[in-house]
Amino acid sequence: MASWTKSAHAYAWMIRHGYGGCNVCHADPSGGELLTAYGRAQGDLLLRMRYGKDTVSGAASETSGASTESFDDFDDFDSGESEAGDGKESGGPVIFAAKKGTKEKADTKGEGESGKATKKEDDSGSAGDEASGPSPSAGFLWGLITPPDWMLLGGSYRHLLVYKNSKVTTFPMQADFYGQVAFGAVRVAGSIGIAKVKPGSPHARAAQVTTNQGDQMNLISRNYWLAFDFGAQKAFTARVGRLNLPFGVRIPEHTMWVREATRTDRESDQQHGVALAYNGPKFRGEAMAIAGNYQVNPDRYRERGYSLFIETLVTEPFATGVSSLMTVAQSDISTLEEEKTVRGAHGIFTRLKISEPLVVLAEADALHKSRRDLGYAAFLQLDYEAVQGLHFGGTGEVLDSGYERAASNVPGIDVARSPGFGKPQLGGWLTVDWFFLPHLEARVDAVFRQDNPFTLLGQLHAYL
């Protein structure tokens, strides 16, 4: 298996189901990668397509996330009760009942990753027509293995087909395994994978553990950390390790300009450091002190500084926030310039549920870097879920990474500005995303970018 590499999804458009925050479904307090038992249950109930008669999905019942009237905080839990299945205290997921208006918590003892749930009797005193919870296949490895309550396991394999410049190539682009063990309020988590990319590639190299060159395989580890959860309902999480940078909208498209230009994608832009996250009723955020990427050598290329975001729930279907990042390195790892380089990105982002099927995601960031003019990156994305499990998306993006003055071949005249470097560069994505079976996703993206050839991407994704 080789890897062009792309991180597991964190679906910011889950705000359509009443989920503004990410920590109830993911081990990472700001979202992404490893799922909790609750996240597995909701992935089965809310993400995948249903065939035939449907009595258990999000579309079949009015639940905590099925109407904006019940969406009253980031995770739609403000009752003060303990949150089952958060992956921190127990493994029992909150499930969606088969009958309208019913909501229950599963037995939190011995359920682990299996996604098993108890039945709840309806008003007539009889059980629902079908089991009122996720399929047994929602568990790890399609339910074939049930880890103990104190352990979370997951993984992701992604295969890519690329049509570009009239050529078709296909290769594995991700093969990762994730895990977490919890000891009360203390958690230890990490990932391990394999990758094969060309020398000089911006992908995967920064996450390498081994140092094989050329087209040889390398072990990679994108993130690993030690966490301590504390405060009322464990709203605070302190972590140390190699972490995703807290910045902007946590979208899966790691090559989107807002993620590439700010160097905040979850493919390999993680950094070592310490972070403090908070997930409360109306606010959530995370701040990180960046110590540098110690999987990159020599030390002069390591960036040190900070990264943070704060997001607030303005009204029931609308969340917005701000991000800021600033780093300094003795040399520029992207251009290999042997000069001290200060760079930063500062911006705003928003997530808006217009209707149950339609969600808007947007972000705009100002960019600055030593020896360059100010730049910017922004995107606006519409996600429309035609039926449960089938998404149609459209994204517009713009980039100006900042003009860098350099002498041209003509004495006294600088290199001309060009799209993306002193002028705006425009791009667009058309997407079809189909969660067609448990743990399986097929996605097609048509990518149009100014001064770049048309690219068609086809992905088959299996997550464990």
Sign of CA dihedral 29, 33, 35, 36: negative
CB atoms within 10 A of CB 406: 8
Q: Are 447 and 396 in contact (CB under 8 A)?
A: no
Q: What single-letter amino acid sits at 411?
A: P
- List the domain boundaries for the chain: 141-463
Q: Which residues of the chain have pLDDT under 70?
A: 1-10, 20, 54-133, 407-409, 412
pLDDT of the residue at 390: 97
Q: What single-letter amino acid sits at 87?
A: G
pLDDT of the residue at 199: 74
CB atoms within 10 A of CB 315: 10
pLDDT of the residue at 460: 97
CB atoms within 10 A of CB 146: 20
pLDDT of the residue at 86: 42
pLDDT of the residue at 376: 98
Strand partners, 170: 161
Q: Which CATH architecture describes the domain 141-463?
A: Beta Barrel (2.40)
C-alpha 448/C-alpha 419 separation (Å) is 14
Q: Are 97 and 64 in contact (CB under 8 A)?
A: no
Q: What angle do CA 54, 59, 65 make, to 5 degrees?
A: 140
Which pTM was predicted? 0.82
C-alpha 415/C-alpha 411 separation (Å) is 10
CA distances from 212 to 3, 220, 224, 455 (A): 14, 11, 21, 29
- DSSP track, 142-203: GGT----TTEEEEEEEEEEEEEETTEEEEEEEEEEEEEEEEETTEEEEEEEEEE---TT-SS
